[in-house]
């Protein structure tokens, strides 16, 4: 199974709350560039999950519109969710939703990618970074990093 993990694009530094921070023009361009760079791989995605925060929903929407998909908002994709909670949720998901794309925040995206690969902090996840992982089961140290794309 394939799992794509993406961090939202560059967002405005201030808003009424962290949850309402929106993508900047630069952030939208970063996400569009990643979609273009990895178009053949992202075309495989069946399901897109996004954090409820504005910037992640906007990021996921760019991907979804590019590839004709819908976005499902998932409360468990906020940045402070533990990797264990997310892995438990992924274990419950039917294989038919894969390849699945998760759009979320730091520290969750970095902890998830590195935890699945058993790689410590080897794989950084900057804004609009996109990782592709392959595994038979979603558990710590059980995935292989196929590739990691940073913004062009």
Report DSSP letters for 18-59, one per residue.
Answer: GGGPPBPHHHHHHHHHHHHHTHHHHTT--EEEE-SSHHHHHH
Return the ∠ at Cα 33 (arms to 42 and 61), rounded to 5°.
60
What is residue 14's predicted lDDT score, i.e. its pLDDT? Answer: 87
The residue whose two tokens read 């038979």 is: 136
What is the tens place of the pLDDT at every residue in 52-71?
A: 999 999 999 999 999 999 99
CA-to-CA distance for 79 and 107, rounded, in angstroms? 6
The more confident residue out of 152 and 9 is 9
Range of the domain at 57: 2-149
Predicted confidence (pLDDT) at residue 144 exceeds the cutoff of 90: yes
The mean pLDDT of the chain is 96
CA-to-CA distance for 76 and 82, rounded, in angstroms? 9
What is the tens place of the pLDDT at every residue in 31-43?
A: 999 999 999 999 9
Mean pLDDT of 124-135: 97
What is residue 133's predicted lDDT score, i.e. its pLDDT? Answer: 98
Q: Do 42 and 4 form a contact (C-beta atoms < 8 A)?
A: yes
CB-based contacts of 65: which residues, under 8 Å, 6+ apart? none
Which residues does residue 19 pair with via DSSP β-bridges, in sequence order? none
Mean pLDDT of 140-151: 96
Predicted confidence (pLDDT) at residue 83 exceeds the cutoff of 90: yes
CATH code at position 92: 3.40.50.1240
What is residue 121's predicted lDDT score, i.e. its pLDDT? Answer: 87
Number of domains in the chain: 1
């Amino acid at each position: 199974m394939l799992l794509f993990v993406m961090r939202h694009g560059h967002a405005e530094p201030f808003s009424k709350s962290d949850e309402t921070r929106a993508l900047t023009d630069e952030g939208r361009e970063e996400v569009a560039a990643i979609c273009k760079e990895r178009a053949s791989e992202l075309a495989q995605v069946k399901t897109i999950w996004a954090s409820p925060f504005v910037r992640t929903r906007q990021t996921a929407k760019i991907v979804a519109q590019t590839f004709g998909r819908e976005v499902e908002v998932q409360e468990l994709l906020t940045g402070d969710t533990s990797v264990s909670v997310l892995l438990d949720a992924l274990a419950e998901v039917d294989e038919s939703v894969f390849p699945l794309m998760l759009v979320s925040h730091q520290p969750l995206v970095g902890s998830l990618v590195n935890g699945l690969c058993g790689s410590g902090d080897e794989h950084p996840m900057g804004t609009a970074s996109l990782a592709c992982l392959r595994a038979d089961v979603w558990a710590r140290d059980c995935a292989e990093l196929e590739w990691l794309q940073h913004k062009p």
